[in-house]
Amino acid sequence: MALQEHIAHILASMCTWLLRDVCKRSASQLPGVIALHVDSNYIEHAAAHLRDGSIVVCGTNGKTTTNNLIAQTLERAGFRVACNSVGANMPAGVAAALVQHSASDWASLEVDELSCATVIPALKPRYFVLLNLFRDQLDRVGEMDRVQDTIATALIASPATMLIVCADDPLSMAVAHRVQKAGNPVRYVGVSQTLPALIDRVPEARFCQLCGAKLLYHSRTYAQLGNFYCPSCEFKRPQLDYAARDISISEVGLSCIIEHTAPHTAQDDGARDDSPAQSQSHDVASSASSVQIHAAFSGMYMVYNIACAWSALSEVGVQVQYFEETLQQFHPQNGRLQHFVYKGMPIILNLAKNPTGFNQNISLLQQDTRRKHIYICINDNDNDGCDVSWLWDVDFERLASEDKPHLMCGGTRACDMRVRLKYAGFDSSLAADIDEALAACTAASADLSSYPLYVLTNYSALWPVKARLEQLCSNSDCKTA
């Protein structure tokens, strides 16, 4: 270890200890800031100490959940894993995770799309999982072509990195098209089943990424995802390496079969023979062409998250039993579909930060047949993006099928949210914080147990609401589900 790296690691480790053990605060960012300040190449230097390499998860929606599924399964399989599990996905967060887990076999890291420009060439991951690409935080991120170019350029700078891509997404496939031409290995993940016709719109990626013609679909899952093809050129969804089929989704969970259509061993791509799970990988790759998945999550987007997570783990060579055990015991504690119970009332907290993510939350609401309280909290802080015009791209009109939902709005842009709901045909009230929302729910319904509260927030609103719910649900009359 070079002197500069050594000093950076010592100072960042001390900061981690002070924050986490003395101050009882999160150490997900500041130690990384210190490490990178002392050694600007800290990520590259720390990555060299990883025994087996790293897996990066990227995309607009689903990064944290997918990354944590991968990390927890690797740990269950006997690996030591560095992970930014709370979602600190910019360079400082990546560096902080490497500081805290310096003697690891694997690093499983989620990385912000634009941060790929610096993180991927330094980290040179073994696998890069690209979940999806949607318009998000336009005032910070910019238009989609900037995001695509950033990711593709970063991957081309790391030519040994295997791209595991959601092949149902035309925007992600445009990245894969460039990366594969440059020589990176690619694996394709998607849904092979034809699902019932959808009522949601295709808000983006309506045109071919190569020639500009309007894309057509054999079938579609949600937003622009599906079995697409261009009638004017060769751009289309390719043959899938990992295909989800026999999908069943209800309000309490999902099941599906993930079929590996082109089996091969992790050793074929240069995996270490002496890794803890290497002796098990041959059973997965040679005999298990499909796996049956059951999970206590709902939503079509979770099918993609799970399929992409399993695809990466299969490439590593992890036995499916470890993934199944992780799914059975996986309880999100990061505000993503996190469940609480307050005085008998079920509460479901979830992130909703862009049109596609919000539309998927509406689909989840519609799968729950009970009457509902809905509290929408929208901020416009730096990490949210100041432009909230995206609210007009959300299909709130679909809530008309609900049985008189009780709608409340909060956050710094609560009034904007109320205006949007008014144009969708709904009355709503203001609730300054989650305490006011809970009080309004209690006043509106005598039977709290049959009238759940859905709390949908964007980034900066999520953590205060989550912290307050955890505080309230630590009381004797409350509990976390």
Give yes or no for a contact between 340 and 347, defined as CB atoms under 8 angstroms apart. Answer: yes
Q: What is the mean pLDDT of residues 308-333?
A: 93
DSSP string across 222-282 = ETTEEEEE-SSSS-B----SEEEEEEEEETTEEEEEEEESS---GGGGT--TTSTTHHHHH
Identify the CA nearest to 169 among candidates 137, 138, 135: 135
Which tens digit of pLDDT belongs to each residue from 258-291?
999 865 444 444 443 444 444 333 333 333 478 9
Q: What is the pLDDT of residue 370?
A: 87
pLDDT tens digits for 362-398?
988 888 888 899 999 999 988 788 889 999 989 999 8
Query: Has 149 been annotated as catalytic?
Result: no
Give the span between the Cα atoms of 381 and 440, in whole angstroms.
26
The end-to-end CA distance of the chain, in Å, is 45
Q: Pick the residue with more confidence: 336 or 49?
A: 49
Q: Say which residue, 479 or 244, is predicted with more confidence.
A: 244
Query: Of 32-46, 263-277, 407-421, which range is least confident?
Result: 263-277
Among 265, 127, 118, 114, which residue's Cα sits nearest to residue 186?
Answer: 127
Q: What share of the chain is helix, strand, coil (3-state, %, to 5)?
A: 40, 20, 40
User: What is the structure's pLDDT at 374?
Assistant: 96
**What would the two tokens of residue 254 be?**
């999902």
pLDDT of 200: 66
* Mean of pLDDT over the chain: 88
> Which pLDDT score is estimated for 457?
95
Residue showing tokens 């300054």: 432
Lowest mean pLDDT among 180-189, 195-204, 371-380, 447-456: 195-204
pLDDT at 201: 65
| pLDDT band (50, 70, 90) for residue 480 | low
Q: Which residue has the higher pLDDT, 52 or 296?
A: 52
Catalytic residue (choose from 21, 268, 382, 387): 387
Binding-site annotation: residue ranges for Zn(2+):
208, 211, 230, 233
What pTM did the predictor assign? 0.84
pLDDT at residue 445, rounded to an integer: 78
